[in-house]
Amino acid sequence: MTNWLITKNNSKVNLLDIPTLEMSQLRSEIISQEKRPVGFFGKDWGFGTTRLFVILADDDNGELLISSAMFSAEQKSYESLTQDVPSFHIFEREFYEQFGIEPLNHPWLKPVRQNQDKYEFFEMKGDEVHQVAVGPIHAGVIEPGHFRFMCNGETVYHLEIMLGYQHRGVEDMMVKQPSNQLAESICGDSVIAYNTVYSQIMELLKDIEISPKAQLIRKAALEMERAAIQIGDMGAVAGDIAYAMGSAVFGVTRTLVINTMLEWSGSRFGRGLINVGGVNFDISEDEIKLTLKTLDKVAKDVDRMAKTMLKNSSVMSRLEKTGTVSLEKAKEIGLVGMAAKTSGIPLDTRFDYPDKWMKELNFEKKPFKGVGDVNSRFKLRYKEVKESLSMVRKILAKLKDYEKEPVLVNSNKELSKDSLAISIVEGWRGEVVHIAMTDGNGNLSRYKIKDPSFNNWYGLALAVRNNGISDFPLCNKSFNLSYSGNDL
């Protein structure tokens, strides 16, 4: 028997086919594979036993590797992986918090989502060193989280981030009463990404093939979401460096994109658009025409403002070399998505795990040269807006070939038994991973969600080191990570 079950993105496997190894063996297997984790989570396996599932991503070949290990009721610890592969640090902390199985010699086994008030923060001592505590309620209208800065004067030595304030027990709720509406509310700025990935999971488990038209509409909506948020965040970065013109212009330009989403679906963020079995709304020919016209204006306005902004030397002096995450550090801590791209890791699951449309519509991964600072993150957003808008145009043009097709098929079916389904969708922040398991009766028994923010929050902590504390809002906005997606 092999040690890994190899599968693709958007696939369903039988639980019986997943190898079960000894933990020590699984540990050395993971280290020797040298691949990045997308899943590392436990499941209660009855009689006090716990089964640990590990899913690694082979981005070069577009494959996913699945394996597992069983912990008996007495076995309450194992030698931590983080010592050898640092990017596992957050996964092991989560596993420990959820199942109480301790990764021994983990360098920093602090809470992920619980017991914030009992945790003692890392402390630096010295005459000139002081702490600044911020949150959980922040100055702006954003989600809650606690930030503890260790500073020398205005320079930040280290930032500790404590999250979990948003914890709503989403994974449990997804098992008990899954719905599209719940999926949309896990992380409300990535409505399309979350709802698409949830719907794909359910379609896999129910063996439903959705129509090409519905697939295209989902794809178009995903790119619209990406464009809208990236434009909004370009405005937010401009706002944080007090460049009011950029903030205002990007703000109103984003409105054009999300109001187009409102025309498609009745909601500015595309809520209610996607359903298990397809999409709820068709896009009429008139709407396509209107959308194309709007997108032309959006592309032009973004281009104009971004160029004006990037020509301004006082803007550049704030963006360049601020909040840098080096390529080496990014690899070590396992950044994903946007944050990884800006540090020079070309991760993008749209292209690394392509579906048939990526080839058919000739979408290709375009390289991005980033050095991991705020400037790179701003420029990446600018690049992604342009790419997403052109992708939407192509997708909408393709829709004409499928005019008479239905957008929604019947989804009233039983779930497959004893299965594990995995789906990854590249949201605007990065890969959104959902994994679902069913039991012998065809009921959901475990639902695991991984937001890109889960990997990337530590990247923000590293980015602000040796920066002025006043640049923290700028660094934070340039990442714009999710609290609710992380806290679940």
Partner 1 sequence: MFDTLKSRIYQGNQFIPDIPNAPMRKQFRGLPSLCNGKCTNCNKCLDVCPTGALKLNPLSIDMGKCTFCGACKNICEAQAIDFTNYYKLASTNRDKLIITEGMTPEEYEKIAVEVRKEITSIFSRSLKLRQVSAGGCNGCEMELNACSNANFDMGRFGIDFVASPRHADGIVITGPISKNMAYALEDCYKSVPNPKIVILCGTCAISGGVFQNSTELNREFLEKYPIDLYIPGCPVHPLTFINSVLSFIREKK
Residues that bind partner 1 (CB under 8 A): 113-114, 116, 136-137, 139-144, 164-170, 172-173, 176-177, 179-182, 185-189, 191, 232, 245, 248-249, 251-252, 255, 259, 262-269, 271-272, 275, 280, 301, 304-305, 308, 311-312, 482-484, 487
Alpha carbon 99 to its chain's center: 23
CB-nearer residue toward partner 1: 7 or 190 = 190
CB-nearer residue toward partner 1: 246 or 334 = 246
Which positions ≥6 away from 58 have C-beta within 8 Å?
35, 64, 65
Report the C-alpha gap between 418 and 438 in whole angstroms.
Answer: 5
The Cα diameter of the chain in Å comes to 74
Smallest separation, CB 144 to partner 1 (Å): 6
Report the C-alpha gap between 3 and 8 in whole angstroms.
Answer: 17
Report the C-alpha gap between 191 and 269 in whole angstroms.
Answer: 7
With vertex at residue 24, the alpha carbon angle to CA 21 and CA 30, rounded to the nearest 5 degrees, is 75
CB-nearer residue toward partner 1: 67 or 291 = 291
Smallest separation, CB 419 to partner 1 (Å): 24
CB-nearer residue toward partner 1: 78 or 147 = 147
Smallest separation, CB 232 to partner 1 (Å): 8
Are the CB atoms for 330 and 344 separated by under 8 Å?
yes
Report the C-alpha gap between 202 and 310 in whole angstroms.
Answer: 44
Alpha carbon 256 to its chain's center: 25
Report the C-alpha gap between 48 and 380 in whole angstroms.
Answer: 47
Smallest separation, CB 95 to partner 1 (Å): 19
Q: Checking phi first, is residue 77 left (phi over 0); if not, alpha (psi -120 to 50) or beta?
A: beta
- 336 φ, ψ (degrees, to nearest 5): -130, 170
Smallest separation, CB 190 to partner 1 (Å): 9
Report the C-alpha gap between 273 and 266 in whole angstroms.
Answer: 8
Residue with tokens 């002096």: 317
Which positions ≥6 away from 287 have C-beta within 8 Å?
263, 264
CB-nearer residue toward partner 1: 151 or 249 = 249
Smallest separation, CB 425 to partner 1 (Å): 17
Smallest separation, CB 423 to partner 1 (Å): 20
CB-nearer residue toward partner 1: 268 or 331 = 268
Q: What one-character-per-residue DSSP string does 181-198 give?
A: HHHHTTSTTSHHHHHHHH
CB-nearer residue toward partner 1: 301 or 320 = 301
Smallest separation, CB 471 to partner 1 (Å): 18
Smallest separation, CB 338 to partner 1 (Å): 16
CB-nearer residue toward partner 1: 18 or 186 = 186
CB-nearer residue toward partner 1: 301 or 405 = 301
Which two structure tokens, joined as six digits, stand for 208? 């439903």
